[in-house]
Amino acid sequence: MPEAPAMTLDISSLNLSFGDGKRLDLPVRLEPFQLGGQTYLASPEAVGARLDASRPSGGFAFRLRFPVHLEGPCMRCLEPAALDLEVEAREVDQANTEDEELRSPYVHDDELEIGRWAHDATMLALPARLLCRPDCKGLCPVCGESLNDSDPADHEHGGSKDPRWAALDKLKLE
């Protein structure tokens, strides 16, 4: 039976002694991503993650790596877009410290929130714009159709002039 995708990981189940290191391959489920009002989904929603955990004195150190394939609308033309990313992130968590820098926001007692961590790490790895193609031309400002693979002449809409300016010219004449 395939292992159910993890959202959290019981750190004590790793049975790490001080100075120990362990490598774990596990499926991690990614929640949908909200970006610029659009939703992007990991496909498949469970990624095959590799977790390296070690236990330096007084805490834990984690390294997480996974490939992810994301699908959602192009941010310019809304046609389907897809993106492949290699995500890598590190976290340290020192117990008994007042230094916030040394506490991981994903570690609570014996629990590592691996799903939330993987989600945030993916967000950080995303490019500013998710496009269907690097040179996506976007939508025609007049008719709203995609300008990709279309003849620019089809979108002159009665002259290279914006029809709103044409309307203004007409007003001036009256």
Residues that bind Zn ion (CB under 5 A): 74, 76-77, 132, 136, 140, 142-143, 155
What amino acid is encoded at 147 in this protein? L
For Zn ion, which is the closer residue by CB, 114 or 132?
132
- What's the min distance (Å) between Cβ of 36 and Zn ion? 13
- C-alpha 76/C-alpha 108 separation (Å) is 40
For Zn ion, which is the closer residue by CB, 18 or 165?
165
For Zn ion, which is the closer residue by CB, 100 or 149?
149
Closest CA to 36 of 130, 139, 119, 132: 130
- What's the min distance (Å) between Cβ of 165 and Zn ion? 16
For Zn ion, which is the closer residue by CB, 102 or 140?
140
- What's the min distance (Å) between Cβ of 137 and Zn ion? 8
- What's the min distance (Å) between Cβ of 83 and Zn ion? 12
- C-alpha 137/C-alpha 79 separation (Å) is 12
Q: What are the strands, taking DSSP E only, across the chain?
A: 9-10, 21-29, 33-35, 38-42, 46-54, 59-73, 80-94, 107-108, 111-112
Task: Give the tokens for residue 12.
Answer: 């004590």
Q: With H, G, I as helix, E, B as strand and everything else as coil, classify residue 100.
A: helix
- C-alpha 3/C-alpha 115 separation (Å) is 15
For residues 51 and 63, the answer to whether their CB atoms sit within 8 Å is yes
- What's the min distance (Å) between Cβ of 86 and Zn ion? 23
